């Protein structure tokens, strides 16, 4: 490196030092940053964001666990979210470091020769970092603000995953109950078939069919139970529960009903563009990249620049002292690599933002269209399919009581009703999953009021069981 010594104005040096001191006054608190991130995430998470899941834990686990209850617990105990909050501490350290001037370096040397001992000392400071400090401090503060947005977006994502897992667990709980009821009905049918076969009223082929159907229903019930275990495990993982807490909570008896009316697509698209935290973070990062590019171009000729003060004591007792400046000469490169990197990063940031904006828009359109379609499915189940199957069971029971049909026909009708209820459960689950996905795509809670529709009973009351003491009408024969 080539060294050149220049005169530096004392007034200019004092001004630079004062500017560096003022730029270094910014403070970065981890606790404040976490509070800011939680406040940013609150509109998208909803009422659960304002609750203290840690202090409410025992009370929440004693009563039926609602979706907001699960989200409140996740906000307090989710291990992945806890790891995300630590990013703020790392970001605060990096922002603090970027907003402070590099420490000066002090060196001493002692050299002995024939004429005596020469003692030399020097105090140096990186003048280039001093010149770039104000702009670097501003960029660090904005980068820290972008990090708070990113962490808040992660909290919203975990809340969305928890809410979706709750709806899946709700449906799995109801489906397991229905599968058990269906298996019980099939088992009754198989027992009747065995009794009828022993009495010589049905063939062995009919008996084998009933036993096969009962076996299939038992397998389906076991599979539904396994799905329930998996869904509870997933929800426990998101809520951060273990041990007795993981097995003690229970789900409500019924799923929430669809809202009266869904918001318009145009309003949702506008809200998504304004509210999505990841979009806001990406836009802020793009501004940072733009500032970095301008800085790289403005200071492209600036290389290594060091200001120092050196003193020396000769063997004869004389002393030499004075300032010095070390300057990197831009002969072989003039900052081209820095400007090329800044240009490429800015171009990449613009492309990534455009891709993210496109994905958000398409996700909103897809989720909104799916939501409207599922409302139609639910309406058909609630107003037509399930009531019709329920009434069909009542009519079949009347026919059975008048000995117009057999016991197996009545049980088939009951099984068809259970299957319709299972389809209704899946439609309700898919509706709320789609609405949760839409809320996440928009970046805020969706407005809506409960429809007031009467909830369909998902565990129909069992009618009088057919018995083997009645006449055999399994083939629909009249008395």
CATH fold for the domain made of 10-442: Outer membrane efflux proteins (OEP) (1.20.1600)
What pLDDT is recorded for position 235?
Answer: 97
Report the chain's terminal Cα–Cα distance, integer Å.
113
Sheet containing 319-327: which strands, arranged edge to edge?
105-113, 116-126, 305-313, 319-327
With both helix axes pointing from N to C terminus, report the angle between 79-98 and 127-198 in degrees, rounded to the nearest 10: 170
Enumerate the β-bridge partners of residue 305. Answer: 327
Token code pair at residue 192: 């009747």
Residue 113's contacts (CB-CB under 8 Å, 6 or more residues apart) are 315
How far apart are alpha carbons 196 and 190 in whole angstroms? 10
Task: State phi, psi for 457 to the nearest 5 degrees.
Answer: -65, 120
**Environment class of 259 (CB within 10 Å of its CB; exposed 0-12, middle 13-18, buried 19+):** middle
For residue 1, is pLDDT > 50? no
The tens digit of pLDDT for each residue in 413-428 reads 877 888 888 889 999 9
Cβ–Cβ < 8 Å for 118, 315: yes
Distances (CA, A) of 393 to 382, 389, 400, 414, 456: 16, 6, 10, 6, 15
Q: How many CA within 13 A on the CB side of residue 122?
A: 15
How far apart are alpha carbons 45 and 446 in whole angstroms? 10
How far apart are alpha carbons 344 and 240 in whole angstroms? 41
Task: State phi, psi for 332 to the nearest 5 degrees.
Answer: -90, -25
How far apart are alpha carbons 317 and 115 in whole angstroms? 12
Global pTM reads 0.76
Q: How many CA within 13 A on the CB side of residue 346?
A: 17
Token code pair at residue 90: 């790392």
Cβ–Cβ < 8 Å for 99, 141: yes
The residue among 420, 411, 414 whose CA lies nearest residue 382 is: 420
Distance of CA 171 to the CA centre of its chain: 21
* Domain range summary for the chain, segments of one domain joined by +: 10-442
Q: How confident is the model at residue 63 (pLDDT cuts 50, 70, 90)?
A: very high
Which region, left, alpha or beta, applies to residue 282 given φ > 0 means left and ψ of -120 to 50 means alpha?
Answer: alpha
How far apart are alpha carbons 100 and 103 in whole angstroms? 9
How far apart are alpha carbons 60 and 66 in whole angstroms? 9
What pLDDT is recorded for position 64?
Answer: 94
Mean pLDDT of the chain: 80
Q: How confident is the model at residue 196 (pLDDT cuts 50, 70, 90)?
A: confident
Kindly report the number of other CB atoms within 10 A of residue 132's CB atom.
Answer: 17
How far apart are alpha carbons 308 and 104 in whole angstroms? 9
Q: How confident is the model at residue 6 (pLDDT cuts 50, 70, 90)?
A: very low
Cβ–Cβ < 8 Å for 28, 96: yes
Looking at residues 229-247, what average pLDDT do you find? Answer: 95
Looking at residues 299-304, what average pLDDT do you find? Answer: 64
How far apart are alpha carbons 212 and 194 in whole angstroms? 12
DSSP conformation class of 63: S
Cβ–Cβ < 8 Å for 470, 433: no
DSSP H/E element including 117 = strand 116-126
The tens digit of pLDDT for each residue in 107-131 reads 878 777 767 777 887 777 776 666 6
């Amino acid at each position: 490196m080539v060294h050149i010594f220049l005169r530096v104005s004392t007034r200019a040096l004092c001004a630079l030092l004062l500017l560096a001191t003022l730029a270094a006054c910014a403070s970065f608190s981890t606790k404040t940053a976490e509070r800011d991130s939680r406040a940013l995430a609150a509109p998208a998470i909803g009422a659960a964001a304002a609750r203290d899941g840690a202090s409410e834990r025992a009370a929440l686990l004693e009563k039926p666990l609602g979706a907001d209850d699960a989200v409140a617990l996740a906000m307090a105990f989710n291990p992945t979210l806890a790891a995300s909050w630590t990013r703020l501490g790392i970001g605060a350290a990096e922002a603090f470091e970027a907003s402070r001037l590099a420490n000066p370096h002090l060196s001493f040397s002692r050299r002995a020769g024939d004429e005596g001992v020469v003692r030399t000392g020097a105090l140096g400071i990186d003048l280039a970092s001093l010149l770039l400090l104000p702009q670097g401090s501003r960029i660090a503060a904005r980068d820290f603000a972008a990090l708070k947005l990113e962490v808040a977006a992660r909290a919203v994502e975990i809340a969305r995953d928890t809410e979706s897992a709750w709806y899946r667990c709700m449906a799995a709980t109801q489906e397991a109950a229905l599968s058990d009821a269906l298996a019980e009905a099939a088992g009754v049918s198989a027992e009747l078939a065995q009794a009828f076969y022993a009495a010589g009223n049905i063939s062995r082929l009919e008996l084998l069919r009933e036993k096969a159907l009962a076996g299939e229903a038992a397998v389906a019930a076991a599979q539904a139970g396994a799905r329930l275990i998996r869904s509870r495990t997933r929800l426990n993982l998101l809520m951060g529960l273990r041990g007795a807490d993981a097995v003690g909570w229970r789900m409500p008896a019924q799923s929430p009903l669809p809202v009266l009316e869904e918001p318009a697509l145009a309003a949702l698209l506008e809200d998504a563009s304004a509210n999505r935290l990841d979009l806001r973070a990406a836009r802020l990062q793009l501004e940072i990249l733009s500032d970095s590019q301008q800085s790289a171009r403005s200071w492209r000729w600036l290389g290594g620049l060091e200001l120092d003060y050196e003193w020396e004591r000769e063997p004869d007792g004389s002393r030499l002292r004075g300032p010095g400046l070390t300057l990197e000469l831009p002969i072989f490169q003039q900052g081209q690599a820095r400007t090329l990197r800044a240009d490429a990063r800015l171009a990449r940031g613009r492309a990534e933002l455009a891709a993210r904006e496109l994905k958000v828009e398409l996700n909103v359109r897809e989720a909104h269209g799916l939501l409207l379609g599922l409302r139609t499915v639910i309406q058909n189940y609630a107003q037509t399919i399930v009531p019709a199957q329920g009434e069909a069971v009542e009519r079949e029971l009347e026919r059975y009581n008048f000995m117009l049909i057999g016991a197996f026909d009545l049980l088939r009708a009951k099984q068809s009703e259970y299957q319709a209820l299972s389809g209704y459960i899946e439609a309700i689950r898919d509706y709320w999953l789609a609405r949760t996905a839409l809320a996440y795509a928009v970046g805020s809670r969706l407005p809506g009021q409960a429809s007031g529709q009467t909830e369909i009973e998902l565990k129909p009351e069992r009618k009088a069981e057919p018995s083997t003491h009645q006449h055999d009408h399994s083939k629909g024969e009249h008395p």
